[in-house]
Amino acid sequence: MALVPRKKKRKDPALSLDGDAPVGVVKFSEVGIFLVERKMGSSRRSFLTELARKKGFRVEEQMSESVTHVVSENNTGHEVLELLEKQTGICTTEFTAALVDITWFTESMGAGKPLELENRHLLQVKRAAARTNVVPIAPYACQRRTTLDNKNRLLTDALEILAENAELSANEGRYLAFTRASSVLKSLPYNVTKMDDLREVPNLGDHSRKVIKEILEDGTCSEAQNLIQSERFQTLKQFASIFGVGVKTADKWFREGLRTLDELRSSKVKLTKEQEAGLLYYEDLIKPVTKAEADLIRQIVEATVHRFLSAAVVTLTGGFRRGKEYGHDVDILITHQEEGKEEGLIFQVISSLTAQDIILYDDIIDNSYHEWKSKETEKFDHFAKCLSIFKLQKEMVNNIEPSRSCRKDSSAENEPRRSGLGSHAGTIQLITAAAAKEKNWKAVRVDLVVAPYGQYAYALLGWTGSRLFERDLRRYAKHFKHMSLNSHSLFDNKQSKFLPAATEEEIFAHLGLDYIPPQERNA
Ligand code: CTP
Ligand code: MN
Ligand code: MN
């Protein structure tokens, strides 16, 4: 058996190093390669790794989220799947990377760039024989239609508790696995009653399947039940539900021995301005925002925006645009057809709202699009925006709010958003104290975003969500189209050009995806 790279192959022009990038410079960051050692051998794998890196490819040592191409030699799709499952402990239906044959790799090396995937490059994975009444379900959330009519709430509630716990424990992989599992169940047009109903359903790892099985058999998931009862989960959840507090901070406070908001309030912990506001208005901010409140806030913002730019467009985005009746905040996107007119608008709007006594807290972030260098690694967008807390007069809401019949939505009005914490003595006491004050206004979190007209469709798509839908859109673009999508633009890496779009429909068309309206993006 050859211990060194196969000599003959080395002479293959595809595998020569002519015209290579300086070592370490990644030219094609949108592609992440994982080389399967099985049958390839470790020395050949090292050789190919080095070769690809010299040519500007990104090669990962471990299987991860950022891997887009799993390359193997002389293995079947089934063998590769089994191997990955063993190595990572995560069921491979969680990975959406393509399983490709070495031919894709060598041809790409020859071309000096990652080649578009063709059928002949893909390893075949045998699936259970399809039953006539089962339609295969697409693995990316952006390929599926997910309405608010969730037929599997019992299952998704449990999976979401596990996802939330993983997120609170900063375990991104598990967070994604449970979130994907929950999301795919939300997209099913039927109620799952037996494991066999899930035969053709992707994105369900072993752990998620175990949870589902337990619920189908016993009606409850012991792991989720234990979490809800656990002090750590309850505390982290409550701390992280404070505006301005992330999971790292929540965990730090927990490790420092803090357990309740009262303890936090009376502790010497140094709080940021955001966190101070978050704590001050906590009892209001955990109450769900109603659609009527969101509509009213949009109108207030619009009236103020129009003082400065009468033709500006002010749109409700986020969950409310997806048809939700309740949300944790109000997301508003502002633009003006004459590009450039919107510059500086956020400052004018916030100072006017402040003068009207509507702003309790604001953090204005100016547009930084032009200072922005690395397109790939950035998580957030670069629009001018304001993360704020509005002081909403209850009387104004009552005037416009008809008595609504409660729709089937996630949470009921006035019930704290992150529920399951009501048993904390401290919390109850504070809610009562706040209620006793009988103030005539409610604090509401509002995100205001200003987008230049040329980026508006991308901003609208990016701010409509859901989080997983956005994540999968970007992964889909990267993986299948060699395109980079964010809330500003879509860049075609093959043609090296930006693809303009005036509407969301055009963006879906650029991506070769069926158009999914906002109401069906509740992934
Ligand atoms: N978003 C973003 N950048 C941020 C925050 C949010 O692009 N800094 C996007 C998210 O991708 C999400 C959308 O804005 O799709 C709305 O975010 P958020 O308000 O957190 O969630 P909603 O879906 O509106 O849910 P909720 O009802 O809880 O507010
Ligand atoms: Mn929102
Ligand atoms: Mn928001």
Task: Give me the DSSP letters along 99-124.
Answer: EEEHHHHHHHHHHTSPPPP-GGGBPP
CB 173 within 8 A of CB 181: no
Hey, what CATH topology would domain 230-270 get? DNA polymerase; domain 1 (1.10.150)
Assess whether the C-beta atom of 487 lies below 6 angstroms from ligand 1. yes
Q: Whose CA is nearest to atom 27 of ligand 1?
A: 327
Q: Which two tokens stand for residue 176?
A: 């994604």
pLDDT of residue 477: 97
Measured in angstroms, how far is the CA atom of residue 481 from the centroid of ligand 3? 28
Q: Whose CA is nearest to atom 9 of ligand 1?
A: 463
pLDDT of residue 1: 45
Measured in angstroms, how far is the CA atom of residue 63 from the centroid of ligand 2? 33
pLDDT of residue 21: 59
pLDDT of residue 427: 36
Opening angle at CA 391, ends 394 and 381, nearest 5: 130
Active-site choice (157, 206, 295, 447): 447
The 10s digit of each residue's pLDDT in 157-193 is 999 999 999 999 999 999 999 999 999 999 999 999 9
Residues in the chain with pLDDT values less than 50: 1-4, 7-11, 128-134, 376-377, 403-415, 418-431
Domain 289-511 maps to which CATH number in 3.30.413.10, 3.30.460.10, 3.40.50.300, 3.30.56.10? Answer: 3.30.460.10
20 is a catalytic site residue: no
pLDDT of residue 132: 42
447 is a catalytic site residue: yes
Instruction: Provide the residue ranges of all domains of the chain, joining segments of one domain with +.
Output: 22-121, 141-227, 230-270, 289-511
Assess whether the C-beta atom of 463 lies below 6 angstroms from ligand 1. yes
pLDDT of residue 16: 54
251 is a catalytic site residue: no
Question: DSSP letters of 458-498?
Answer: HHHHHHH--HHHHHHHHHHHHHHH-EEE-SS-EEETTTTEE
Assess whether the C-beta atom of 288 lies below 6 angstroms from ligand 1. no
pLDDT of residue 96: 72
Assess whether the C-beta atom of 318 lies below 6 angstroms from ligand 1. yes
141-227: which CATH architecture? Orthogonal Bundle (1.10)
Assess whether the C-beta atom of 378 lies below 6 angstroms from ligand 1. no
Measured in angstroms, how far is the CA atom of residue 381 from the centroid of ligand 1? 12
- Which residues, listed in sequence order, are joined to residue 72 by a DSSP beta bridge? 101
Hey, what CATH topology would domain 22-121 get? Rossmann fold (3.40.50)
Does the fold of domain 230-270 match that of domain 22-121?
no
pLDDT of residue 423: 36
